[in-house]
């Protein structure tokens, strides 16, 4: 997993285009709350690329 993170970090450093960061929050069937951060961009060949940067687990519910 550490190797994959380093690979993605090095890849992101070389992106010369603009990027979009997307977040998503959800609950599992066990009522655990999660937040995901994903990066999207279009490369120089006009191919859409995306990577999940991280998924965080909340200790408390995100539902009010």
Residue 47 falls within a domain, yes or no? Answer: yes
Residue 64 falls within a domain, yes or no? Answer: no
pLDDT number for residue 64: 57
Q: Are 18 and 41 in contact (CB under 8 A)?
A: yes
Distance CA 26, CA 10 (A): 29
Residue 22 falls within a domain, yes or no? Answer: yes
Residue 46 falls within a domain, yes or no? Answer: yes
| Range of the structural domain that residue 43 is part of | 2-58
pLDDT at residue 24 is higher than 60: yes
Residue 30 falls within a domain, yes or no? Answer: yes
Residue 34 falls within a domain, yes or no? Answer: yes
Can you read off the two tokens belonging to residue 29? 């069937």
Q: Are 31 and 7 in contact (CB under 8 A)?
A: no
Residue 54 falls within a domain, yes or no? Answer: yes
Number of domains in the chain: 1
Can you read off the two tokens belonging to residue 45? 């060949």
Of residues 38 and 5, more confidence is placed in 38
42: Cβ contacts below 8 Å, ≥ 6 apart: 17, 48, 49
pLDDT at residue 11 is higher than 60: yes
Confidence label for 62 from pLDDT (cuts 50, 70 and 90) = low
pLDDT at residue 17 is higher than 70: yes
Residue 63 falls within a domain, yes or no? Answer: no
């Amino acid at each position: 997993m550490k190797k994959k993170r380093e690979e993605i970090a090095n890849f992101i450093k070389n992106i010369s285009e603009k990027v979009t960061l997307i977040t998503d929050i959800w609950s599992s069937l066990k009522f655990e709350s999660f937040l995901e951060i994903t990066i999207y961009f279009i490369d120089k060949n006009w191919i859409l690329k995306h990577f999940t940067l991280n998924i965080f687990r909340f200790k408390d519910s995100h539902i009010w």
